[in-house]
Structure 1
Amino acid sequence: MTHHEDQENDAPTRPIRLNDKAPVFAARTTMGVRCLSDYWGKWLILFSHPADFTPVCTSEFIALEKAADRFRDLDCELLGLSADSIYAHLAWIQNIEERFGVQISFPIIEDLSLAVAEAYGMIDAFSTSTSTIRSAFFIDPEGIVRALIHYPMSVGRSVDEMLRVLAALQATSQGDLATPEGWQPGDKLLQVPPTTVEALRSRVPQATGNGRDWYYVESSK
């Protein structure tokens, strides 16, 4: 991390919120040092896991790796993190390859000092353990946090849901569209609600059938 970056983007003193600037970092990973700036210009999902070698985390890593190309097709990189050492990370991914035939292709941050975990609020403030909760931060190409999801240690994440959220964020990134409940890529998007009488009246004639279709626009890609 450069001194300039540190001044420009100090870690927030409050929990990260939607549309915050993601805290910068420079950390050792299983694939060398990674900085937040390495991912500028593309999407990034930074996610934490409580500990290496645990059954839930192992199931998540296998599922994430199997979907890694789908994330990359959406111009998104994956970056894992836990408080375990780089040596534990390397032993774990080797174990995954030997036992399950899956090679992990994304880096995992070593965060023994908890610097990144604390900057991103990945540590439960009321826990006596330093294990990180299951957090996922969706960071856009400009380094802005567009979504964040926290799970307890006992609940595994859904990789399909992570892909769905990423696709939804990209489909609505211009701010004039939204996704309805249960939206999937290829489904119709919603127009944002009108804020003036004129805008409302210009849209109402488009209504058909039961009158609700006027909210919908063309299908997403």
Structure 2
Amino acid sequence: MSGQTTLRLGDTAPDFTQESTEGSINFHQWIGDNWCVLFSHPKDFTPVCTTELGEVARLKPEFEKRHCKVIGLSVDPLEDHLSWLGDIEATQGQRLNFPLLADRDRKVSDLYGMIHPNASDTLTVRTVFVIDPDKKIRLMITYPASTGRNFEEILRAIDSLQLTDKHKVATPVNWKAGDKCIIVPSLSNEEAAKLFPDGWDEQRPYLRVVEQPEKT
């Protein structure tokens, strides 16, 4: 526990160099000017992880539409990762098409606080970090080892982050791309009128519902 870093939203994602199924990766250089999803797996050759990696590989075109790279991690050695790839393709019908970090020395796991000793002192939990092109951590989700993640939700969250970065809106409960949004409370009606000339539905002074602006 002592070697782990406590990360918060808005922190710079720690840089590292580590081996992967696609060669040595210098993290910040690899991200470039893209968004990034970094997500950890408890262990190779485990059932839930196998389904997750297949799903992320299947969804890679959706991440690419959002200018977002994906990269996985587990604390198993590279040779285990490479052996596992055949099982993923055979059972999920999808070849792995993104790098999987081999964090045998736990360097990255400790930097990102991915090992929770009260859950397991040897395995990483199912952590997700969404990192923006400025290398800032914008979202963190942590699941227990037994619960597979919903990567459609992670795509939805990226849509929200990218939209709200560009416009003075927030996204309400269960929002999906194309749904109505909420004008941020810090914006006065006078300021809002300039940005949203078609008007809005003022359900309360602090709850002003507006059509989604164009993301780009």
Aligned with 1:189 (options 176, 181, 188): 181
After the TM superposition, which residues 1-221 of structure 1 pair with which residues of structure 2 at under 5 Å, given as runs?
A: 14-36=5-27, 37-174=29-166, 176-194=168-186, 199-200=188-189, 206=199, 208=201, 214-221=208-215
Deviation at 1:101, TM superposition (A): 3.0
Q: What 5-or-longer segments of structure 2 have no aligned partner?
A: 194-198
Structure 1's 127 and 180: CA in aligned 2 closer, same or farther, altered over 3 A? closer
Deviation at 1:16, TM superposition (A): 0.6
Q: Secondary structure at the match of 2:19?
A: strand
Deviation at 1:102, TM superposition (A): 1.4
Q: Report how many residues are paired.
A: 207
Q: 2: CA distance between counterparts of 1:59 and 1:30?
A: 18
Contact 1:185 1:220 in 2 (8 A): no
Structure 1's 84 and 115: CA in aligned 2 closer, same or farther, altered over 3 A? same
Deviation at 1:186, TM superposition (A): 1.2
Deviation at 1:217, TM superposition (A): 4.0
Q: 1: CA distance between counterparts of 2:139 and 2:202?
A: 35
Deviation at 1:176, TM superposition (A): 2.3
**RMSD over equivalenced CA pairs, Å:** 2.4
Q: What 5-or-longer segments of structure 1 have no aligned partner?
A: 1-11
Contact 1:187 1:219 in 2 (8 A): no
Deviation at 1:96, TM superposition (A): 1.6
Q: Secondary structure at the match of 2:43?
A: coil
Matched residue, 1:9: none
Paired-residue identity, %: 35
Contact 2:202 2:209 in 1 (8 A): no
List structure 1 runs of 4+ shifted beyond 6 angstroms.
none
Structure 1's 90 and 175: CA in aligned 2 closer, same or farther, altered over 3 A? same
Aligned AA (1:160): E
Contact 2:201 2:210 in 1 (8 A): no
Contact 1:42 1:141 in 2 (8 A): yes
Aligned AA (2:46): T
